[in-house]
Amino acid sequence: MAKGLLLIGGGGHCCSVIDSLVSDPACPYDKIAVIDTADKRGCTIAADIVCIGTDDELEPLRQEGYTDAFISLGSIGNPALRIRLAEKAAGFGYQFPNIIDPTAVIGQNVSFGSGIYVGKRAVINYGCLIGDGAIINTGSILEHQCRIGKYCHIAPGAVLCGNVKVGSHSHVGAGSAVKQGISIGNDTVIGLGSTVVKDIGFGVVAFGNPCEIRQNMPTEKGVSH
């Protein structure tokens, strides 16, 4: 039976994921398809890859040879829906690959969880640890021994200097810079273009140069953080 991959979420981030897949000569999948909302059924998302259904069809699609799933829904600040979709797919026995663009640079002794996306020309240097479901987006730089929690999004062009720790479910905005040794807590958003020179706690929105806490993040009931 052919090995198939379901991409869950057919928006702009999905297009980037597809581009990475079709650019990789070692892509292991015989077939790739997208699932999204019912109104997108039959639509071509990118590179001739089509939306074939919704997440309500995960179980029968698993029987059709789609053994793997990947959460291609993007995330800005609250990954709750990404997490719910991953849990739903896992319940039907799907496996979650890592999708790493062939132009990305990965150093030695880097540890990956599962379901991770690494975008074009991203750099992950020596000894970093990347948690499940994280997005390390286009052109971002993680210097040595950074620790990135589950379902984090390191947005395009962000630079994390050495030994930075970002807690689970947090977002580091595009073009931000984080000083070496800084810790950012769980469930926190760092706004785009920020310069982070001191530790930032959990559950807050922070931005600016220097980056300062501006407000608390709203919480969503029913999601475990």
Q: How far apart are CA 100 and CA 106, in angstroms?
A: 9
Cβ burial, residue 60 (10 Å; 0-12/13-18/19+)? exposed
Here the tokens at position 193 are 């273009």
Q: Annotated catalytic, 225? A: no
Q: How far apart are CA 177 and CA 97, in angstroms?
A: 29
Out of 13, 144, 153, 171, which one is annotated catalytic? 144
Cβ burial, residue 15 (10 Å; 0-12/13-18/19+)? middle
Here the tokens at position 36 are 């999204």
CA-based radius of gyration for the chain: 17
Q: How far apart are CA 168 and CA 153, in angstroms?
A: 9
Mind telling me the catalytic residues? Answer: 144
